[in-house]
Structure 1
């Protein structure tokens, strides 16, 4: 078994997850970085991409298939990490999704869309954590990590019903993230005496594929380079925000409600 810290990033093959992988791979420290991906081929492609970009990286990259909506998939990922590394030092619950466009466009009903958002963003992260806790407790320094949006997004629409469709609807998404924050607080309470550091990390408004709008549209709305979020999460992994353990944090400090 390797003595290097082992880090698993769910949804690590794209967007913010891939930026976290990239940021960690640039460090002089050697890590075992596991890219969690729903599609194993995409995970392998992400590993190859980072290895080609950073051939001098001290870290070792691998990938594992993990779908946070599938208990069998999560348990399979646990078995892989256990048999390959024997422990997990850092779990980054990055996998998430926004289904509000599908709700707004009629592809999903309100009930189905909200249930899917909570199942993905809250329950998926919770079950993943439950399954990986035994491996986190094998670590000498375990860590577990689970946004300022602009006025146009937060503005209230004109009176009347139905409300007009918006460019970036976030009702179910934000609700699920509020639930995720409370889930983080509960895990902080449960694991406090085990020495497991728990955070909710808000990377900010980034130009990723999460909202389904495309990077260019998001950049015009003021979204920042995903690398900024990747480097921020890396800093949390490196212990630079340990004073804020158990809180929802962003780059400037504690995330306001």
Structure 2
């Protein structure tokens, strides 16, 4: 690797490193003491390729949907705008969904951003802290008149993706089940609950109103408040079914009663 000039060259080096159009920073020299544009270009290309590969590992469904060539071009555009903030590459890409959403050439594919959001949350859930999910039987020990005042503590791996697109189906066939013969209707909105009670991340398609219900519970609302909110927006909301889904999935680790 070429040596970095000692003055303000580090900032210039970092800026030029992710911009293929930038020239070689002034003062950058190779082992022979001469200006080293070829060495710098090789190093820059290796860095950009590594970041693009990291994005491909994090967003394989997006890569499958776009194809390798388009994804790599998109990844390079992202890298130029969003340099990594951490040396840990598995955390690179937090802004990718927003970037995809605002990328003009992809405006005819508005579902891609939500696919990216689901994949990013999957990564966060996979690496979230371990914690034992609550025993669903805990609610049975609470007096009936107090159940509505219960507040839940979300598991560190619990995440919710609310989409007006069939985001779970798109991720299934482009990442987890590529051989699945699944008909996908882009007119079908899907909201997804993500948990990791043990080693693997689990994805659940939520029932009508389940997304509003879970979002309210995760925001600290009581069981009664969350149920009323969901019922007001979805007449077909079933408290017993949605609560059972949340508890059996391991989305919560404990409860407290708001007295």
Highest RCO, 1 vs 2 (Cα 8 Å, sep ≥ 6): 1
Same fold (TM over 0.5): no
Structure exhibiting the larger radius of gyration computed from Cα positions = 2
TM-score, normalising length: structure 2: 0.25
